[in-house]
Amino acid sequence: MFILWFIKYINRKIMTSNRTAKGKYLKDLVMEIGDNHFSASDATPVRNDAFVMSEEEKMDKIEDHFRQIMDIIGLDLEDDSLNGTPRRVAKMFVTEIFSGLNPENKPATTLFKNNYNYRQMLVERDIKVHSTCEHHFLPIYGKAHVAYIPNGKVVGLSKLNRIVEYYSKRPQVQERLTIQIANELKTMLETEDVAVYIDAKHMCVQSRGVQHEGSSTVTTQYGGKFLNENTRNEFLQAISGSL
């Protein structure tokens, strides 16, 4: 319903503006949507042909384009400190900070029978979050805390960390990252009883714009039994020493 309203809202604005103002309005609207983290889907917006090119081909193209960017802003690419930067950035983008875009890098998971019949919540605290804001391509960094209540099977603890890492290594907004982690845990663990809590700082807030170094962003996603206030409070109490 909101999407339909939103489309009608745009159309009304366009109909009441002239041709010149129309382009400026839409441009401003897109910028406004970006700053407000509006998104129609919890899926990362990648094209269908995103993985047709090999990693090496992608790095070659990024290297060339980033070299042009450095040249445009006036840097001396003959300098020993700078001439290798375009390749370093290209490699970093493809194989490191955006490696979570490639489904082939998704961590394999193996579930184990819950031999101990453990039926209480399991909490993994202080999982590092290193991601990148998709609006300004600046770092997001902080901690994730995740929990689940076993439903007959359990998973190796490190896999919880790897799921957080996988979805973090892509251009993100924190709200989407939180939902993606929760949805993946639900699918992987075959249970709705999942909780995700992320507390992170955004360099796009700290180093530009309002430049508020001390603020952080908290997002949460609860499912199943964690929608119950007592269960949710038990989870929050378990991670309270890390908040």
Does the pLDDT at position 203 exceed 90?
yes
Catalytic residue among 124, 130, 136, 234: 136
Instruction: Give yes or no: 145 in active site.
Output: no
> Which residues have CB under 8 Å from 118's CB, separation 6+?
150, 154
Of the pLDDT bands very low, low, confident and very high (cuts 50, 70, 90), residue 243 is confident
Instruction: Give yes or no: 68 in active site.
Output: no
Instruction: Give yes or no: 212 in active site.
Output: no
Of the pLDDT bands very low, low, confident and very high (cuts 50, 70, 90), residue 83 is very high
Residue percentage of the chain with pLDDT more than 70: 83
- Give the C-alpha separation, 95 to 169, whole Å: 10
**Residue 140 near residue 133, CB atoms below 8 Å:** yes
Of the pLDDT bands very low, low, confident and very high (cuts 50, 70, 90), residue 7 is very low
Instruction: Give yes or no: 174 in active site.
Output: yes
The pLDDT assigned to 37 comes to 47
What pLDDT, in 10s, does the model give residues 85-114? 999 999 999 999 999 999 999 999 889 999
Instruction: Please state which of the ranges 28-37, 170-179, 192-201 shows the lowest mean pLDDT.
Output: 28-37
Catalytic residue among 55, 130, 135, 234: 135
Does the pLDDT at position 53 exceed 80?
yes
Instruction: Give yes or no: 134 in active site.
Output: yes
Catalytic residue among 145, 184, 204, 221: 204
Mean pLDDT of the 40-68 span: 93
What number of H helices and E strands is found in the chain?
8, 7
Mean pLDDT of the 14-42 span: 46
Of the pLDDT bands very low, low, confident and very high (cuts 50, 70, 90), residue 8 is very low
Catalytic residue among 172, 174, 180, 221: 174
Does the pLDDT at position 31 exceed 80?
no
pTM reported for the whole predicted model:
0.82
Q: What are phi and psi of 173, to 5 degrees?
A: -115, 150
Of the pLDDT bands very low, low, confident and very high (cuts 50, 70, 90), residue 10 is very low
Catalytic residue among 63, 134, 165, 184: 134
Catalytic residue among 63, 133, 172, 184: 133
Amino acid at 157: L
